[in-house]
Homo-oligomer: A and B are copies of this chain.
Amino acid sequence: MRELRPEKIGKAMEQFIFTMQCDDKPGIVRACADVIGDVKGNIIENDQFTDVNSGIFYMRTVFECPRTEEEIRTQLTDAVAQFSPKLSLRGAEQKRRVLVMVSKQDHCLVDLLYRWRIGELPIDIPVIVSNHVTCESIAADYGIPFVYVPVTTETKPAAEARLLELVDEYNVDFVAMARYMQILSTELCEALSGRVINIHHSFLPGFKGAKPYHQAAERGVKLIGATAHFATADLDEGPIIEQDVRRVNHALTATDLVALGRDIEREVLSRAVRLHSEDRVMVAGHKTVVFTR
C-alpha cells in the first residue's frame, strides 16, 4: 500500500480512487484535472490507456482531497458527462468486499485468508461459499461465515440463485473462485459480469479443459502456468487478468506438476484479487487493461 505523507494526514485529506472509461476524445484528461483541481485535490497516481483498435480510453486516478465523496462525485460526474463515461469513485480506505468460493482443494483459499489476515490484501471477506464441507473448519479458524451450497445437476439453478442472494445479502463487490470446481451458468456469468475472478490451473490458452497438468506432462512442455481471468460463459475464454509460469522438465511427474501448479495458482489468484481490489483492472472487450504498479 502506498504510504501517506505525514503532513497530508494532518490536513484531513482522504484518498480517493477514480476510474473511467469512454470513447477517446481530446479534453478528457483536462476535464478531470480541472475538476480535481477545483475540489482542491492532489493527484497521487494516474494511469491512462487508449486502445487504438477500439478507440476506448481508460483512466485510473488516485488523488487526495479534503472534500467528501459525494461532493467530488457530483462535480466529477458533471465535468465528464459530455464524454458519456462509465465511471467509479470511492474512498481508498473503503475495502472491497470479496466472497470467496472453494471446492475441496484449499491452497488458494488458505493463501487468500493468510494474506487478508496479515493486512496484505485491502479487502474484507464477509463469507465463504462452497459446494463441499471440506473447508468449513478453515473458515471457522478465521471466524468467517461458511455457507455450504451443494450443487447437483438438479439443484444448480437453486444453488446459483442462492449465490446471488449471498452476493446481495453480504453486499459483495466481487467473487473470487479459489479453485471452485463448478462451471457457472451463462446467466450467472452475465449477472455477475466483470465481478467473478476465476483461477484456471493452466497457462491459457495452452491447455483448456480438464486435467491441464496431465495434458502438460503428456505434451512435454518446458513451462507450466496458471491464469486468473474473469468468468464468462465460455469457460476458458474470459478476459485474462494475470498469469505466471514456472520452468519444468521431463523428469517431473503429473503429481509434481500439480504441486508446482499450486504455487503458481495461489500467487496468480492473490495478485489478481489485489489488483481488482485496488480498481486496477478494467475489462476491455475480450481482454483487460491492468494498471499495475
Contact = CB atoms under 8 A, between A and B. Distances in A.
Interface of A: 1-3, 5, 24-30, 32-34, 36-37, 40-52, 55, 107, 110, 114, 118, 120, 141, 203-207, 218-223, 225, 239-245, 247, 249-253, 255-256, 259, 262-263, 267, 284, 286-290, 292-293
26 contacts: A1-B253, A1-B255, A1-B256, A2-B253, A26-B40, A27-B37, A28-B43, A29-B43, A30-B30, A30-B34, A32-B33, A33-B33, A34-B34, A47-B47, A52-B253, A107-B118, A120-B259, A120-B262, A203-B223, A205-B219, A220-B287, A221-B240, A222-B241, A223-B244, A247-B247, A249-B292
A19 to B, nearest CB: 15
Contacts of A40: 26
A118 B55 CA distance: 29
B36 A30 contact: yes
Given A240-B222, A287-B220, A293 B29 contact: no
